[in-house]
């Protein structure tokens, strides 16, 4: 289980990487990076590649807000069963990836089956339901791959919403 350490002393660094350069981190290194860079949307692939997602534009932010609001409304209307999450929550999937869906929900049975250790930091579970909203910087193939990763790791339902082409997968 990865525990988030206290925030170490850091220095700001402007980092520009060519697309061909990949950065690899362990789960422990990822946890430290996440603590030091809370303002960034970070993810880690099952292979250990670090993904730094840029901030979204206002339209994507507004759409995400709407999706989260609708999930919250459904959650409340159904007795607040399970756990609902928004995009700042990272989950450690069974394949070792640490992913942050734009919205997610976990059934009460699956959440209650987790130990306190499994729930800490980045819970060791794949949400039952995940939503990914395509932003201006996302590519459709990479999001489809991410959705397949969720399904392969236990998600029962996944919505990939693409406002650019007005469709849902």
Greater pLDDT, 121 or 115: 115
**pLDDT value at position 72?**
94
117 part of a folded domain: yes
Q: What is the average pLDDT value for the chain, to the nearest integer?
A: 90
Model confidence at 40: pLDDT above 90: no
Range of the domain at 106: 58-168
Residue 11 located in a structural domain: no
| Strands annotated E in the chain | 41-44, 50-53, 83-86, 91-92, 98-99, 103-106, 129-133, 157-162, 167-168
The tens digit of pLDDT for each residue in 49-105 reads: 999 988 888 999 999 999 999 999 999 999 889 999 999 999 999 999 999 999 999
For residue 79, the domain's CATH number is 3.90.1570.10
Q: Is residue 42 part of a domain?
A: no
Report the domain count for the chain. Answer: 1
Residue 3 forms part of a structural domain: no
Residue 127 lies in a domain: yes
Q: Distance between CA atoms of 87 and 89, rounded to whole angstroms?
A: 5
Residue 3: the pLDDT is: 59
- Detail the DSSP E strand segments found in 7-153: 41-44, 50-53, 83-86, 91-92, 98-99, 103-106, 129-133
Residue 138 lies in a domain: yes
Q: Is the pLDDT of residue 4 over 60?
A: no
């Amino acid at each position: 289980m990865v525990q988030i350490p206290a925030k170490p002393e850091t220095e700001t660094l402007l980092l520009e990487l060519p697309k061909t350069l990949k950065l690899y981190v362990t789960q422990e290194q990822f946890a430290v990076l996440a603590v030091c860079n809370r303002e960034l949307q970070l993810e880690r692939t099952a292979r250990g590649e670090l993904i730094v997602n840029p901030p979204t534009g206002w339209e994507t932010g507004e759409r995400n807000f709407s999706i989260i609001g609708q999930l919250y409304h459904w959650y409340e209307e159904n007795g607040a069963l399970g756990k609902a999450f928004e995009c700042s929550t990272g989950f450690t999937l069974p394949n070792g990836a640490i992913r942050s869906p734009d919205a997610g929900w976990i059934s009460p049975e699956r959440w209650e089956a987790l130990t306190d250790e499994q729930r800490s930091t980045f819970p060791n579970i794949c949400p039952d339901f995940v939503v990914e909203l395509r932003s201006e910087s996302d590519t459709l193939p990479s999001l489809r791959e991410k959705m397949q990763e969720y399904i392969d790791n236990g998600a029962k339902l996944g919505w990939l919403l693409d406002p650019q082409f007005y469709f849902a997968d």
